[in-house]
Amino acid sequence: MATEIRMPALSPAMEEGRLARWFVAEGDAVEPGDVIAEIETDKATLEFEAVAAGRLGRILVPEGSEAVKVDTPIALLHADAAVAGTADPNAAPRPAPRRGRGTALAEPGWPAHVHRGPLIVREALRAALFEEMQRDESVFVMGEEIGSAEGPYRVTQGLLDAFGSGRVIDVPVTEAAFSGIGIGAAFAGQRPVVEFMNMSFALQAMDQIVNSAAFTHYMSGGRIACPIVFRGPNGAAGRVGAQHAMCLAAWAAHVPGLKVVYPFAASDAKGLLKAAIRDPDPVIFLENERLYGRAFEVPALDDHLVPLGRARTWREGGDVTLAGYGPAMAAVLEAADTLAAEGIAAEVIDLRSLRPLDVEAVAASVRKTHRCVTVEEGWPQGGIGAYLAAEVTRAAFDWLDAPIGSVTGADVPMPYAETLEELALPRAADVVAAARHACYR
């Protein structure tokens, strides 16, 4: 009996694509997971795999066909793999999987067959802004040097050309004013994305962010919403001293009415920024200068959205839960490798969203591992890790076999000297030591 193999959609928005290549010929035996074809759109390429075993019957759409509508039958599959004939010796050999740049960190959770390529965080952010501005004309960006200067970190590069000065707005160095102006525009139903050149400077605007953006919905009994995103590089950048290395994560996450995200990976940078722009509430979107140029291995991310409030598991393990966020994830992942070599299987969780905070994801992990260490670059007192530890203790007390450990930035203003700065930030070795301690090793 034959079933139809249909043209797949690479994204919810995809309507048609090019069937670039068949990797199998009529009569070939296929197993689930075998790459059978390559599909292209103007945005992405997908290696299409068989989902069932069988023998390929008739090919209905030859390779090289353009504008093949999604869900069109493209071939028949016969469920008689047992009598699979001999493969056609002239069939094209299956290509080896393509790989991205060696430096790119492979992100977990994508289906194995999906083609991946490197994406750096800066480009992910830029793509998110571009896509949202294209999708919704009420979205605009505002900040210092973001237009003709293309952004202090080039995140907004090209946006002025694409959208004009009415939606890519350069403002003078007036943090309180341009934050308040963004808030007023958001009240009126626009969707501003306000960039701080550095999140340390957002302290100049903290009154507007808290008293105006966060509270007005509540104070007005729900009559006014404030759909605004405040974004910019946050935390330590590398030898910039205390006044340019402020981590706003815990400060902002303290405030009811604000939402706070701090992505590590490129796909999360893109998906969370797009979700933040569409969110009806004010979102503090934290980036980090050290991550802007970092590459991650991800599939093409057409209209990729990551919901706020959900943590992400980077690797599974049964011995200890490591829960971190932001640039500290680099130390966490490195530590997990070291621990694995010692026979300690760490489960690695990237919180991504700090308010709402996915306490349950960590608690569920702790019910399995019975041990936990929180990791962050921010300060210890009143930190995200401290709150998370309290909540996880409440939620999973009976499962804990050790006190929850914490690794934080040093409790000092960020020093300038290279040696001191290194000491002030959590290193993989600190995470390893804390994990060993939690495991009584």
Partner 1 sequence: MAARETGEAPAGDIGLYRDMLLIRRFEEKAGQLYGMGLIAGFCHLYIGQEAVVTGMESAARDGDQRITSYRGHGHALAAGMAPAAIMAELLGRESGASGGKGGSMHLFDPARGFWGGHGIVGAQVPIGAGLALAQKQRGTNDVTFVYFGDAAADQGQVAETYRVAQALALPVLFVIENNSYPAGGGLSGAGPGLLDRAKAYGLPVQGVDGMDVRAVRGVAEDAVLHVRAGKGPYVVEARTYRYRGHSMADPAKYRTRDEAARMRESRDPIDSLRASLLAEGAAEEDALRAIDREVKEIVSAAADAARAAEAPGDDALHRHVYAEV
220 counts as binding partner 1 under rule CB under 8 A = yes
Select from 12, 111, 112, 223 the one that contacts partner 1 (CB under 8 A): 223
Active-site residue, from 244, 304, 347, 377: 244
For residue 353, state whether it binds partner 1 (rule: CB under 8 A): no
Q: Which stretch binds partner 1 (CB under 8 A): 51-59, 185-193, 236-244, 333-341?
A: 185-193
Q: Which is nearer to partner 1, 259 or 304 (CB)?
A: 259
Instruction: Report the relative pairing of strands 346-350 and 320-324 from DSSP bridges.
Output: parallel
- C-beta of 281: minimal distance to partner 1 in Å? 5
Residue 326 CA to residue 291 CA, distance in Å, equals 9
Interacting residues of 305 by C-beta distance below 8 A, sequence separation 6+: 271, 274, 275, 278
d(CA 57, CA 304): 34
The residue among 102 and 166 lying less far from partner 1, judged by its C-beta, is 166
Phi, psi of 414 (to 5 degrees): -65, 120
Q: Least distance in Å: CB of 271 to partner 1?
A: 18
Which one, of 200, 191, 140, 131, lies nearest residue 170 by Cα?
140
Rounded Cα distance between 279 and 226, Å, is 9
Name which of 268, 160, 187, 178 is nearest 230 in CA terms.
Answer: 178
Q: Which residue from 15, 71, 207, 401 is in contact with partner 1, where contact means CB under 8 A?
A: 207
183 forms part of the interface with partner 1 (CB under 8 A): yes
Reduced to 3 states (helix: H, G, I; strand: E, B; else coil), residue 386 is helix
Rounded Cα gap, residues 19 and 125, in angstroms: 30
Catalytic residue among 175, 195, 377, 421: 175
Nearer to partner 1, 34 or 279 (CB): 279
Asked whether the beta carbons of 141 and 156 are under 8 A apart, the reply is yes
CB atoms within 10 A of CB 311: 20
Distance CA 161, CA 147 (A): 9
Nearer to partner 1, 224 or 242 (CB): 224
189 near partner 1, judged by CB under 8 A: yes
Binding pattern for the stretch 141-180 against partner 1, x by CB under 8 A and - elsewhere? -------------------------xx-x-xx-x-xxxxx
Which stretch, 150-158, 212-220, 322-330, 369-377, contacts partner 1 (CB under 8 A)? 212-220
Work out whether 274 is an interface residue with partner 1 (CB under 8 A).
Answer: no
Query: Would you say 84 or 225 has its CB closer to partner 1?
Result: 225
Residue closest to 397 by CA, chosen among 374, 370, 435 = 370
In degrees and rounded to multiples of 5, residue 58 shows phi and psi of -70, 135
- Tokens matching residue 415: 């020093």
220 contacts: CB under 8 Å, gap ≥ 6? none
Q: How far is CA 183 from CA 128, 232, 379, in A?
A: 21, 17, 29
Q: Which of 13, 92, 106, 224 binds partner 1 (CB under 8 A)?
A: 224
Number of residues that bind partner 1 (CB under 8 A): 44
Which one of 3, 11, 157, 190 is in contact with partner 1 (CB under 8 A)? 190
- In terms of CB distance, is 192 or 409 closer to partner 1? 192
Quick one: which of 140, 251, 262, 292 contacts partner 1 (CB under 8 A)? 140
Q: Which is nearer to partner 1, 197 or 414 (CB)?
A: 197
DSSP alpha helices (H): ranges in 6-106?
none
CB of 305 to partner 1, least distance (A): 14
Structure tokens at 312: 């992400």
Chain centre to alpha carbon of residue 81: 40
Does residue 206 bind partner 1 (CB under 8 A)? no
Task: Please indicate whether residue 175 is annotated as part of the active site.
Answer: yes
Cβ of residue 96: shortest distance to partner 1, in angstroms? Answer: 46
Residues within the interface to partner 1 (CB under 8 A): 138, 140, 166-167, 169, 171-172, 174, 176-190, 192, 207-208, 211-212, 216-225, 227, 256-257, 259, 280-281
- Positions annotated as catalytic residues are 175, 244
